[in-house]
Structures are given as C-alpha cells and as structure tokens.
Amino acid sequence: MHLLSLLISFPCALSLNILMYVNVAGKSHLQFAEKLIALLNERGHNVDVVLGMLNSYVSLKGTYGARQLVTVNFPGESPWGQVAYHLNNPFVEIPDWQRLSMESNKFIDTNQLLCDLLLDSTAVADLMSSNKYDIALMSGYDFCPFALAHHHKISPVVSYVPTPIYYYTQSYYAGLPELPLYENVVFDVRHTSDRSSFVTRVYETLRTFKERLLHYNDLIIINSKLRARFGDSFPDVREIAMNTSLDFTNSHPLLEEPRPTSLRLKYIGGIGLPTPKPLKKELDNMLNLAAKGNVIFSFGTQIGPEKITPELQRVFVNTFKRFPEYNFLWKFDGKTVMNASNVFNLDWMPQTDLLYDDRVHAFISHFGLNSFTETACAGVPAVAIPLFGDQHHNARRAVALGAAVMVRKTEITEANLYEALAKVLRDERYRKRAKEIASMISALPDTPQRIFLEGIEFAAKFNNLPFHYRLAGAKHNFFVQLGWDVAAFLTVVVFLVVVVAMRLSFFVLNRIRAKFQVKSKKE
C-alpha cells in the first residue's frame, strides 16, 4: 500500500497545465474539487481554477491549491438559494406526479444565469485565452464551460461530478442507453424498491422522456446564448459534449448500481475521503461511556438545526432513550438540552475518525454520497434517512447491498425509527455484510487516485480519444436509443398485416357464403 501511495505521489514526467471549472452547488462539491486539485499538484501538474458560485451560501477560503483562481459570483444572493425547494423544505416529500410535470428545472435555470456571468467575465476570458492548457477538467453539470473551452481552443476536455453520474452531460453524450430498469435520473428518485414492476417502468419511461424535453429546451437557450456571442457558425453544444474524452464520477464501482456503461465513464468514488486519525481525548473518553457501543448521527452540512422541528427532535431523542445500552452522538448545535443521558449534542464531529472506531456500531445519516462511501469503507451498518438529491439513490443502494435500513423522511416516527435501529444494532447480518463490503473495497486491485491521475494524463496525450470511447447512441435521440422507432414500425406492419388478413378472410368467407347461397337457390 505504501508503494502504491509513493507511485501516485511521484511527479509525472510531463507536467501538465490544467484548466479546471468548478460548479459550486454546495460545500461538498468544493471540498471534492479541492481534493482533486491537491492530487494533481502532488503529481506535479499546474491547475488554474474557475469557480462558478451557483450557491452563494458557500464561503470561500484561500486558493484551494490553484495556481490562479477566478471566482464568478452572482451580484447579491444566488437565485439557487431562493428557489432551492429541497434546501428550504428538506423534510417535505415531492409527490411522484410532480416529478413528471413540465415545469422548469430550477437547477438548470440558475446554471443558465450563471452562464451569462461566465460569458461576461473578462477575468475568465483572460485566464482561458492567455494560458496554454494541455487539458480542461470541467464540472459536468452544465454545458457553458465546455463551450468556453471550445471557443478558446482548449482540448482535450474531461468532465467530473462529485455525485453519481449526471445524465445531461455524462450519460446522454456518452451514448449510454436510458433503460427504465435502471435509475437514469438519480436525483429525487421515486420511492420504490422494485424497479422491475410494470408501473415503475412506465413511470421511469415518462420521467426520462420529460427530462429529455427539458434538456432540449435548455440546449436551445444555451445554443442561442453562445451564437449571439460567438457567431452563428458556433457548433451545437451537443457536438462539443460528445467530444469529451473521459467522464469521472464520484461513485464507487462496488457501491453503484450495476448498469450498462462505456469506457468513457470512470468511477473514482472514495478519492476525496480523508484519512482517519486518532480521536481527541475528550471524544475518546465519551465513547468509553457506552455500555455496549455508540451510534453517530448527522444530516450533513446543508441541514442546520433550525430545519429540524422540536417535534422531530423529540422523536429522535425518545427513540434513542429506548436503547440505553448505546450512546448517541448527534451532530446538532452543541447547545440544545436533549434531556436524555445517552444522547450527546455536538456542534461538530470528526465523522471519518468516528466511523473507523470499533466502538461505533451504527451510523444514522442523510446518505449524501460522501457519507455513503465513507460508511461503506469503514464497514459500519447504517440507518439511512435520505432527504433530497442523490441521497435516495444512495440509500437504496445501501439497502440493496444489505448494509442499511431506510426510513422515509415523511415516515420518521418512534416506531419506524426504533425498528430500523433495532435491525442494524441487533441483527448481526447487517454488521457482517457491512464488514464484507469494506473488505472488498480495501482489496480492490485498483485505486480511484490512480484511475483519476493516469486517466487525466492519458487523455491529455490523445486528442482523438472521444472517437474510440463514444457509443453509437450519443448521436441518436431517446426513441432511437430504445428502439421505439423500430417497435412503432413493426407495430404498424403487424397492424397492416392483421387488417389485410382480416379483409382477405372476410372476402373469402363472403365468396364461400355467396356460393352456398347460389347453390341453395338452385336446389
């Protein structure tokens, strides 16, 4: 393992000049990008960074390891903070029918506004035009930075996302088929465990079709913006997206849903996880207080204590009281009195360090991707309470792997929470399965660090790599990809054959009947 770390950190023979665009949709997105920059710097590469501040609530500190840093901000508060319903109402569930409505996607709308700011920024234009870049590493959430890289003749281009695969840029234009048996849209998915049921497949087909239509509307707007700036001859952003060399996704191959994929897609889940450190004395002593073990509880960085109502807080505390042999370490606010001797209110906790401590027996989590990967690598069973985004997808994967129990955010009752905790704490199968998954991850012969670094360096050498990795589906629409055009043609053919056969049958029957009638009259 030490030899592998040495090889990763050893400087590359050819130092690359890399342009990186970071779509800062949340704090974890910025943290993930910072980890990638650190790895590239350790390898001897130079990284210039453009930060697109989609979320103005994320505070910035320092240069994040960038050689040059340009920040693009909204004037005043970002619209994303005003319209992000999931952040303002994290415990309210969106009805299934609403996911099928054709109302605009607020995330896409805000990215379109951010695109205007990127196009207007002289600092961005100066950075991209005044440096000779060997490769561009672009956040895969919107097309605008890809188009800017094309305009400034920066190639090749690779994409990355700090989440599971993003369907707009990484799935559509890699040519991946959007089959209803798989979660093509991993954000705010429908709450069902059986994806093979006919009703679910119909729903997923309709939702995929709806997302495609919204995507095409977005393309029209983005293309018009770009051609207004750079002339009518500027290529369609779809063609630009197809020429992406590689797509990096923060999913881990052993944790992500098995699905049809392409050589263009690279899994680097776990690349940004911190190394566990020994606990500080105060926290170490706290863990020793439990009679049987400890449970840690966190809803992540985006859900503050003000989003958890007093009623919901009482549900958690009352449930925790029913497990007196366990202590519960809750990342809340460090001040509120919990009125339970086995509940410790912390304003911050070293999540990684705790998960790798044998005295921690379970994890209650919102199941953001980092938390999912972290708990899987540590081998700790979990109670998943997904709130929004890709969290439902992640939670379903953990349940399917046998390492977690899920509680829906609209069904957080003492009875449901107690049942879930009792399973992961008392049913040894969950702990054994979690440990087995952690052992499999540890034993993998490859590492996300090597996949990422060598992938970047390989893509930088060969401009024509996209032609080798692009699937045929990238150039065809949704109907052709799924074979609906062929199915429609065959349906029409079968219909015509049936109609002709019926007409011919009626004709023959009528002739026979006429002959019998003539014969009967003669007799």
* Residue 454 to residues 9, 441, 515, Cα–Cα distance (Å): 12, 20, 83
* Residue 81 to residues 43, 78, 86, 145, 419, Cα–Cα distance (Å): 36, 6, 10, 22, 36
H or E, element range at 17: strand 17-23
Is the per-residue pLDDT at 333 higher than 70? yes
Name the residue among 128, 127, 122, 107 with its Cα closest to residue 54: 107
pLDDT digits (tens, 9 = 90+) for 49-63: 999 999 888 888 888
Contact 144, 120 (CB under 8 A): no
- What is the DSSP code (8-state) at residue 447? -
Q: Cβ contacts of residue 280 below 8 Å, gap of 6+?
A: none
Indicate the length of the chain as a whole number. 523
The total of other beta-carbon atoms located within 10 Å of residue 509's CB is 10
pTM above 0.85, yes or no: yes
Dist CA 21 CA 26 (whole Å): 14
How far is the first Cα of the chain from the last one, in angstroms, to the nearest whole number?
Answer: 102
Higher pLDDT, 472 or 452: 452
Contact 90, 409 (CB under 8 A): yes
Contact 295, 328 (CB under 8 A): yes
CA 122 remoteness from chain centre: 32
Dist CA 426 CA 409 (whole Å): 23
Contact 27, 301 (CB under 8 A): yes
Pick the most confident of 85-99, 178-192, 347-361. Answer: 347-361
What average pLDDT does this structure show over 148-170? 91
Dist CA 296 CA 374 (whole Å): 13
pLDDT digits (tens, 9 = 90+) for 236-275: 998 999 999 999 999 999 999 888 888 999 999 999 888 9
Is the per-residue pLDDT at 34 higher than 70? yes
pLDDT digits (tens, 9 = 90+) for 431-467: 999 999 999 999 999 999 999 999 999 999 999 999 9
Dist CA 23 CA 29 (whole Å): 8
* Residue 256 to residues 268, 269, 453, Cα–Cα distance (Å): 11, 9, 21
- If pLDDT is split at 50, 70 and 90, which confidence band does 277 have? very high
Query: Do strands 404-406 and 360-365 pair parallel, antiparallel, or not at all (unpaired)?
Result: unpaired
**Mean residue pLDDT across the chain:** 89
